[in-house]
Structure 1
Amino acid sequence: MLNLKRCLQVTRFLPRKVLTTVDVSNRHLNTGILQLGNEVQHALKHGLPLVALESTIITHGMPYPHNVRTACEVEQIVRDGGAIPATVGVINGNLHVGLTSDQLEQLASCMDAIKVSRRDLAWSLSQGKVGGTTVAGTMIAAHLAGIQIFVTGGIGGVHRGAENSMDISSDLTELGKTPVTVVCAGAKSILDIGRTLEYLETQGVTVATYGDSKYFPAFFSPASEYLSPCNVSNATEAAQIVATNKALELNSGILIAVPIPECSAKDSSQVESAIQTSLEEAKHTVQIGKDVTPYILKRVNEITGGTALQANIALVKNNAKVGTEIAVEYSKLSANKSYSVGSKTMHKANSYTERNSIAKPVVVGASIYDLNVMTHSTDIIYGGTTNVGSIQQGVGGVGRNVADCLSRLGADPLFISVVGDDLEGKSLLSQSDSMDTSCITVLQNERTASYCAGLDGSGNVFLGVGDAKICDKLTPQLVSNFKEAIVEAPLVCVDGNIPTETIQYVCDICSEHHIPVWYEPTCALKAIKPYETNAGKSLTFASPNLRELRQMYSAVDGFEPQSIHDEEMSLTDIIRECRHLCSVLIKNGLHCIILTLGPDGVLVCRNTEPEELFPCGHLNRIDDNSMVSIQHYPACSEVHIPSEVVSVSGAGDCLASGVISGILQGHDPDVCIKGGLLAASHSIRSLQTVPDSINSRAFSADAIKEWAPFTPTCIM
């Protein structure tokens, strides 16, 4: 986050608007004249990779409709690469970062749009103008919004004959004082490239050619006669330069020069000849200052019969692809507290608490690519016969589901997890746009965890096959990168998919700092993990089903769980058994057990009175180690019984999330539990483990009370 010194401060009244201080630490809110698009706000809030795009290429670089078509295609390239595009432009006196399709069309078709550089910003905004931002103008807007990577076609530079005209682009001085990385195809070939590189050196700008060549590209040509000061061979190296530049607080920009693809540069000699002709023509016209470049580019395109335009489009698209790769790699580095650069280890300048003014809950768990196979009948046919049904791909993992659901409910958790560098991992990340994925580590040469569930016609799982070896890589060493976030969290949730030693590591931190820990067992075999170490004594909440509860009890008490078919037990028998099992676990340190009973609802067992608020934040643990209260909540009131259960696979995760969300908001326990039941009710009606219908508005305290007006049954 940018600190107050980097905030936009305006103290005077302009004719059309009153500008106030823009607190960029809360940059997801639009204030003053800097308007952030919805996608940009979401990306900034959740730490997603962003790529800024300029708009003079729309207003002055290409004719209509090539300009708007290219702009949309470039934005799609950025999205396909895993980042969010943020096209910058001036619309009716507002500086927009992230344009809608209608605003792109408005810019592309506006006949009197102006070029907006640094010198033009104040005037154009105060006068309500429409304009395309130059490289310099876009860098300023990107920096104000906190965007590090900016993609364009080519930068301005020192014009040929500048020793007489003094025509030097403000792009160069902006690169010297604004810490944004510009990815381009070098300087436009109508310029004096040698003098441009000399000027950039004077400004202290890092200039690097991207790829195998060390020659600085010349826009329409992959290489000029001049060498770049340095070279980066891939996106990771480029991202490391960006991160190091920021860590050093040099406050100057970086220029990554990407050669035009050879296939698009085959007619570069023809283009160069057209440039020379256009330059000669320009001497005898009234073209001066900022009008020179648009005039020459237009004439070059006319002389080459459109060849220059096609090459221009190709290089812009190639730059967008490379810039997106750099932005994604930079986002990965930003998610870690430290990162390696050669033989050195760099540390972030700002601590977690400096970057986040409000502590966030933390979820540590699995990210799993799901495949759900559902038969149309409850009678499963075995022996190789095909069962008629449906197959659906999706995203899951207990930890991921909890984090996703909490995000939809407005809790904005940090989710610590791992995925592989494969198609499943990329798909999982792309389908998690509702949550903060910045703490998910992508591991090279690893397979993303996957799970295939066989569901019968009633939505019940009759077979599950999982490959979650990658979860073993979620080690204490990896999690330690996010220790500051855990220390500041009001509540931490861990699932049973992560290694036992990692569960212990997280619980030890939370115990030291009096942070409540919620444990999601995930399955009966993994329910005992906290009790294989001392971590079990640090748990505050647990939400097992009956089989998982029995395993947890067995791990503590030493007795094997009963071999009982649950369907043969009455609710009274289940409650009687659970009363004993839970009392042992609470005596061992648990504060609250929320036992899921499927269609019979939940049983809430606590070591305090039922009306006492659930522990949250940095509070001392409740020392009473005896069970004080048991309450039974039915699944829902009679009028809310679902007419059809689609899938129960995500119900427990949504239940836990609904309860945790209420706890974080300080709601009464009754509202918290009913909020969890409401979330579970949404989940069982959908094949999505976390359905889109879950949102903070539908889960307000009043909405929950209206949905479930009943009073739970007190057992003790």
Structure 2
Amino acid sequence: MSLVVSEEVREAVDAGRPVVALESTIIAHGLPRPRNLLVAVELEEAVRREGAVPATIAVLDGRPRVGLDKEQLERIANEDGIRKLGHRDLPLAVAGGASGATTVSATALLASLAGVRVFATGGLGGVHREWTVTQDESADLGLLARTRITVVCAGVKSILDVPATLQRLETLGVSVAGYGTDRFPGFYLSDSGHPVDWTLRTPGEVADVMRAQDTLGGPESALVVANPVPEAEQLDPGLHARVLDEALRACEREGITGQAVTPFLLDHLVRHTDGASLSANLAAVRGNVRLAGRIAVAWAGV
């Protein structure tokens, strides 16, 4: 696999300067046009304001790229036929000359290969509801168990089985800490209703944990920094509970199963909260990107 690292990102990594990896799925598949490109540019600018270099990641014409220029970012935002690529899809996309936006697992893998240690995203994938029947679990979890990267996220989406996801992360040996909280965030919600065992309160503390990972050695697993969306910007918990319950019942009524469940539930939330869930989503992503920039700066010792 021929990994293409932009000159700006390569120079920053080589010099030990702060870099933040950004996924591209939110650009190609998470937001409508033209808002998606505006948000993509906004997130890169937010990283720069924190003193770090943004490295948006995607695959274009079969070439995995870490760091996109303006034209490449526009392609991901506007080109029809952009695929959604997990890490399992990368060899197929490379061999087939395909173009695709990277999910959490593919972004984390490519960032790690490029020497980028900090990655900001919205929320992780996790264990799906009714896992005992469907055996449906996001590839994010297994990839993070064997990839040394720090992922700043707003927990996992509340449509998933949150306690089962936390248990699975524990089983896989992935370190999880709340940022400024002892509660695990629920993506749209500041608090999923479940605790975390560890709390980190400053970017410097996160960087200290990253250094301790390297000093201790052991499995090349990730560090998940769970950063809650501010309460003032979260989806109203009462609205969230009502609409999610309606969505789950609609899913069962319409016979939606397997991989179709998550997009169905997410679409239902957007439509039946009048876009409030999308606003909470963006608030979470913005906060994670800013925090990741500060962590990257602390990690670099700038």
- Common topology (TM > 0.5): yes
Aligned to 1:231: 199
Distance 1:52 1:34 in 2: 14
Query: Could you say what secondary structure the match of 1:240 adopts?
Result: helix
Quick check: 2:178–2:196 contact (8 Å CA) kept in 1?
Answer: yes
Distance 2:122 2:229 in 1: 10
Change (3 A) 1:279 1:38: farther
Which one of the candidate residues 38, 48, 62 is aligned to 2:31? Answer: 62
Deviations 1:49-106 (A, max 9, x none): 0000111111222222222211111110100000000011111111110011221221
Change (3 A) 1:130 1:279: farther
In the alignment, residue 288 of structure 1 is paired with which amino acid?
A: G
Aligned to 2:210: 242
Which one of the candidate residues 4, 17, 35 is aligned to 2:4? Answer: 35
Cα displacement (A) at 1:295: 3.3
Query: Could you say what secondary structure the match of 2:186 adopts?
Result: coil
Cα displacement (A) at 1:285: 5.3
Which one of the candidate residues 233, 246, 255 is aligned to 1:264? Answer: 233
Distance 1:162 1:176 in 2: 19
Counting only pairs closer than 5 Å after superposition, residues 35-434 of structure 1 correspond to structure 2 as: 35-211=4-180, 213-250=181-218, 251-265=220-234, 267-283=236-252, 284=254, 288-289=258-259, 291-332=260-301
Query: Could you say what secondary structure the match of 1:89 adopts?
Result: strand
In the alignment, residue 197 of structure 2 is paired with which amino acid?
A: P
Deviations 1:448-474 (A, max 9, x none): xxxxxxxxxxxxxxxxxxxxxxxxxxx
Distance 1:37 1:287 in 2: 40
Q: Report the structure, 1 or 2, having the larger helix content.
A: 2
Identity, % of aligned pairs? 40
Quick check: 1:61–1:294 contact (8 Å CA) kept in 2?
Answer: no
In the alignment, residue 269 of structure 1 is paired with which amino acid?
A: G
Say what the alpha-carbon RMSD is for the aligned residues.
Answer: 1.5
In the alignment, residue 147 of structure 1 is paired with which amino acid?
A: V
Change (3 A) 1:266 1:138: closer
Cα displacement (A) at 1:286: 5.4
Query: Could you say what secondary structure the match of 2:110 adopts?
Result: helix
Query: Could you say what secondary structure the match of 2:129 adopts?
Result: coil
Quick check: 1:151–1:323 contact (8 Å CA) kept in 2?
Answer: yes
Displaced runs of 4+ in structure 1, greater than 4 A?
A: none
In the alignment, residue 328 of structure 1 is paired with which amino acid?
A: V
In the alignment, residue 66 of structure 1 is paired with which amino acid?
A: R
Distance 1:37 1:273 in 2: 45
- TM-score, normalising length from structure 2? 0.95
Distance 2:86 2:113 in 1: 15
In the alignment, residue 135 of structure 1 is paired with which amino acid?
A: V
Cα displacement (A) at 1:287: 5.7
Cα displacement (A) at 1:316: 0.3
Cα displacement (A) at 1:247: 2.2
Change (3 A) 1:266 1:274: closer
Distance 2:72 2:244 in 1: 32
Query: Could you say what secondary structure the match of 1:226 adopts?
Result: strand
Larger Rg: 1
Aligned residue pairs total 300
Flag the structure with more relative contact order, 1 or 2, with Cα contacts below 8 A and sequence separation at least 6: 2
Cα displacement (A) at 1:244: 1.1
In the alignment, residue 196 of structure 2 is paired with which amino acid?
A: S
Deviations 1:373-400 (A, max 9, x none): xxxxxxxxxxxxxxxxxxxxxxxxxxxx
Cα displacement (A) at 1:328: 0.5
Cα displacement (A) at 1:281: 3.0
Deviations 1:517-569 (A, max 9, x none): xxxxxxxxxxxxxxxxxxxxxxxxxxxxxxxxxxxxxxxxxxxxxxxxxxxxx
Deviations 1:583-616 (A, max 9, x none): xxxxxxxxxxxxxxxxxxxxxxxxxxxxxxxxxx
Give 5+ residue unaligned stretches, structure 1. 1-18, 20-32, 333-441, 443-716
Counting only pairs closer than 5 Å after superposition, residues 458-469 of structure 1 correspond to structure 2 as: none
Distance 1:124 1:260 in 2: 34
In the alignment, residue 138 of structure 1 is paired with which amino acid?
A: T
Distance 1:327 1:314 in 2: 20
Query: Could you say what secondary structure the match of 2:194 adopts?
Result: coil
Query: Could you say what secondary structure the match of 1:319 adopts?
Result: helix
In the alignment, residue 232 of structure 1 is paired with which amino acid?
A: L
Distance 1:109 1:287 in 2: 30
Deviations 1:637-663 (A, max 9, x none): xxxxxxxxxxxxxxxxxxxxxxxxxxx
Quick check: 2:188–2:280 contact (8 Å CA) kept in 1?
Answer: yes
- TM-score, normalising length from structure 1? 0.41
Distance 2:119 2:136 in 1: 24
Cα displacement (A) at 1:276: 2.8
Deviations 1:265-287 (A, max 9, x none): 15233233323333333342556
Query: Could you say what secondary structure the match of 1:156 adopts?
Result: coil
Distance 2:136 2:192 in 1: 21
Query: Could you say what secondary structure the match of 1:216 adopts?
Result: strand
Change (3 A) 1:126 1:292: farther
Quick check: 1:60–1:294 contact (8 Å CA) kept in 2?
Answer: no
Quick check: 1:139–1:180 contact (8 Å CA) kept in 2?
Answer: yes
